[in-house]
Amino acid sequence: MPHTETKLESKEIFDGHVIHVTLDTVRLEDGRTSLREVVHHHGGACVLPIDDEGCIYLVRQFRYALGEEIWELPAGKLEPGEDPFESAKRELSEECGLSADNYIDLGVVYPTVGYDSEKIYLWAATGLHKGGQHLDAGEFLDVVRMPFEEALQKVLHGEIKDSKTQIGLMKYALLRDKA
């Protein structure tokens, strides 16, 4: 029998532009009640662009919450009701100035399962075409092209710390090796 908890009550704590936070009272399997702080997030889409020479495109940007510059695959948050695939294509264009002929579905990642509802949808993109980068207002990043194997080594040596980027790279490497 699957494990579950039943929401009995929900109280709004915070309602922002990116997240919504509730304090929920839940009934546990044994009948007792407990509290759950839940961060509600619309989710995100992420894309691993790979060119014909086996190089990928990463972005390097400062992440305020961590206080450091982070290597990441191009990605962005979903607007309410937005199709994740369309978001991934938009982010590839906005952040890297690229479009792609082919997309490979790499699945969904739940980055923080203990308290956050965020889901990040992942794709790899091939058959790349250059266009014009058009960043959002207040978005500052560098686009870096590097060999795929170098990016994998950055994951293994702790230089790429972002979970969606690690998972996208590692999953694509495993799929690529099976082909």
pLDDT at 130 over 80: yes
pLDDT tens-digit map of 147-178: 999 999 999 999 999 999 999 999 999 998 88
Phi/psi for 93 (5° steps) reads: -70, -50
What pTM, to 2 d.p., does this model score? Answer: 0.93
pLDDT at position 179 over 70: no
Average pLDDT rounded to a whole number, residues 37-44: 97
| Burial status of residue 44 (CB atoms within 10 A of its CB: 0-12, 13-18, 19 or more) | buried
Mean of pLDDT over the chain: 95
Residue 177 phi/psi, 5° resolution?
Answer: -70, -25
